Structure formats: structure tokens, C-alpha cells
Structure 1
Amino acid sequence: MTAPLRFATKIAVLLRDDLPMWQRLNVTAFVVSGLGSVEPEVVGEPYADADGVGYLPMFRQPVMVFEGGKEMLVAAHERAVARDVRVAVFTADLFVTGNDADNRAAVRAVGTGRLDLVGLAVYGPRVAVDKIFKGAAMHP
């Protein structure tokens, strides 16, 4: 039996623990959605089943999902920005916008330290991501 592959990098999502489940799932999908376009090495090869039906490629490594309170998100965001890793954010304002342009405008309208974060995704060196998410609990 071969040992599980340990990646040098990590993809991790942190969700605010007071979100309803549908919002947690939605936020997770949104914050990881752009990663493959800016870090193409995280995406593997396309899939195909035994009948030759093709499927889209997916991340080549796991996405770790954590949860924490508002303070945890603020701290993780500050650490991520300070470590200069790839970060995606989802703010509470995005639940009421209806399109991509309004989403970007809603984030742009608020200063970094005042973002009402409900979720974020981070990609970077494993050790750095572990430090950024220190104290966060794995999502149940």
C-alpha cells in the first residue's frame, strides 16, 4: 500500500459558523471557483468513465473546509493578507447582490479592515495556510 500523497500546498476554506447550510455551500463554491484560473497547477486532468463519457477536470488536491466565528475570519484574513497568499473573500453584502459586477462593487466599497466576511479561501504553501487558519475548527 502506498502512503497518501502529501502536497506542498494547501487549499482551505473558512466559513462563518452562523451561516445556514445552504449559504455555507454557496460560499464555498464561490470562493474556490476562481482558483484554477489563477493557479492552473491546482487543476488535474479531465476525467472519463469506462464508456468514454468525458468530465471536467477538478482540483488535484483536497479542499479543507473549516468554520469559525466572525473574529476567526477577521484574524485569518489579516494573516492571509500579511503572508501574501492567494485569497478569495465572500462578504455578507454578496448575499443581496444579483450579479458579478455588483459583487465586485460591493467588495470594492468597503475597506479591508471593515469587510463583513462570511467566508474566505486561501491557497499557498501548506505551512503558511496552517498558520493562517490556526484555531479554526474543521467543518462538521
Structure 2
Amino acid sequence: MTSDNSEIRFDTKLAVILRDDLAAWQRLNVTAFLTSGIGSRFGEVIGEPYADADGTRYLPMFRQPVLVFQADGATLTTAHQRAVRRGVATAVFTHDLFSTGNDRDNRAAVRAVAGDKLDLVGIAVYGPRNAVDRVVKGASMHP
């Protein structure tokens, strides 16, 4: 195995903002769902498959860190507005999705509410570093 210790810098950033009043299981669930949206849409964020020393192959994962933030509801709403206004790729998870059980019903629940009225519990954003930095402004790193 060769080692290259040079720093890797990414021109893009992938970030998740979670509402700070969610239960632990909700935070994990929302993060998983939101990041799947980014990974499915932007193939360039996915790295190469993994393999262990025995040759067992594993699925690829994101090629860059996923930064997870938390914020109160108002800050999350502001971040969503910034993302939409800036045209940053955004995945949303609303409170209504905790009571649905499949993708069809999830999409219908989001479609039934105007964007500025969504009861957001989390968003994921992906785009140029500086644009994502502006979107997440005001949110704090998740503990």
C-alpha cells in the first residue's frame, strides 16, 4: 500500500443541518435520508469501492467529509431560503416524513406544502464551498 500524505482540498462542500430539538434516532435517520439524496444526484461525490486486505469488497462512500450542523428552527428555515435563493442543490426532510413509510408518500407530503411553509427538521446542501458556507452561516457544528 502506498501512502500520499499531501492534503486533499475540495472545491465543493457537503453539509447537513438538523433541527436541534430532534431525538437522537431522528437525527441519525434524517441525516441518512438527506445524504442519500446528494449521493444519488451527484455521482462525483462518491469515491471508489473499498476492499480489505483479504480482498473482500465493500461499497464506495462519499469521497469527502460530510459536515453535520445543528440549528434552531428559524436558523434552519433561513438556511433553506439561502440555499434555494443561491441555487445550491438541496435535499429536505420535513416533520411530516416521520409519519410516512415510503418514498411515494414522502414526496406527496412535501409536494402538499409551499416551500416557505415546510416544517423542516433537516436539509442537506451540496455545492461550491463558499456558497455552502453562506447557507450554513448561523448553524453550529453538531456535537
| TM-score normalised to structure 1 length | 0.97
Q: May I ask how many residue pairs the two structures share in their alignment?
A: 140
Aligned counterpart for 2:25 among listed residues 22, 25, 37? 22
Match of 1:85 in 2: 88
Identity %: 67
Moved more, 34-43 or 24-33: 34-43
For residue 34 of structure 1, report the CA deviation from its aligned partner. 2.1
Deviation at 1:38, TM superposition (A): 1.3
**Residue 37 of structure 1: CA displacement?**
2.0
Secondary structure of 1:10's counterpart equals strand
Query: Is it true that 1:51 corresponds to 2:54 in the alignment?
Result: yes
Q: Secondary structure at the match of 1:103?
A: helix
Gaps of 5+ in 2: none
Letter of the aligned partner of 1:132 in structure 2? V
In structure 1, stretches of 5+ residues that fail to align are none
Equivalent of residue 133 in structure 2, options 126, 130, 139: 130
SS in 2 for 1:61: coil
Segments ≥4 residues shifted beyond 6 Å: none
Offset of 1:2 from its aligned partner?
3.6
Q: 2:44 corresponds to which letter in structure 1?
A: E
2:67 match: 64
How big is the shift at 1:5?
Answer: 1.5
**Amino acid across the alignment from 1:135:** G
Secondary structure of residue in 2 paired with 1:4: coil
RMSD: 1.0
SS of the residue corresponding to residue 89 of structure 1 reads strand
Aligned AA (2:7): P
Q: Work out the CA distance in 2 between the residues paired with 1:3 and 1:135.
A: 31
1:11 aligns with 2:5: no
Normalised by the length of structure 2, the TM-score is: 0.95
TM-superposition CA deviations, 1:24-60 (whole Å, max 9, x none): 0000000001222211110011000000100000000
Code of the aligned partner of 1:130: D
SS of residue paired to 2:124 = strand
Deviation at 1:3, TM superposition (A): 4.6
Give the match for residue 73 of structure 1: 76
Residues of 1 paired with 2:6 and 2:67: CA distance? 19
